[in-house]
Amino acid sequence: MAHPVVRWQALVRDPDQAASFYAATFGWSVDDRNALGYRAIPSAGRGIGGGIWPIPDGQPMVQLFVEVPDVEAALAAASAHGGQIVMPRQVLPDGDEMAVVAGPEGIAWGLMRPRA
C-alpha cells in the first residue's frame, strides 16, 4: 500500500466511559501523559495503535489515519479529486502533522505525517 493506514481514533462523547469499556472488553490500556491529554492506546506488537478523542460535533465514530509523506500535498490531491478539507494541516505539540479530509461520500479520513 502506497500510503498505509497507521492509526485509528474513536471520537466519542464520553472518552472516560469509552476508555473503561475498551479496557474491560479488549484489555487495552490508555496513556494520556502528553500535552493534549490524548488518550493514546498503543499497539502491543501486532495491529495498529489508536486513541480516544472527544467528538466536537455529530455522531460518535471511528476515524482512520493514513500516513502521507506530505500533508499539504495530500490535501491538495484530495481537493483536486472532489474531496473536502474537514481540518487543514496542523502541527501537534508532539511534532506530528495531521489534517482531515472527507471523500466523495463524506467519510472522513485523518492524514498524518509523523515527526521527523
Contacting residues toward other proteins, per CB under 8 A: 15-16, 35-37, 53-57, 86-88, 90-95, 100
DSSP string covering 5-19: EEEEEEEES-HHHHH
Work out how close the CB of 9 gets to other proteins at its nearest, in angstroms, rounded to a whole number: 11
Work out how close the CB of 37 gets to other proteins at its nearest, in angstroms, rounded to a whole number: 4
CA distances from 39 to 4, 34, 42 (A): 22, 9, 10
Work out how close the CB of 57 gets to other proteins at its nearest, in angstroms, rounded to a whole number: 7
Query: Residue 106 corresponds to which cell in the numbers above?
Result: 463524506
16 vs 44, beta carbon nearer other proteins: 16
Query: Residue 65 corresponds to which cell in the numbers above?
Result: 489515519
43 vs 90, beta carbon nearer other proteins: 90
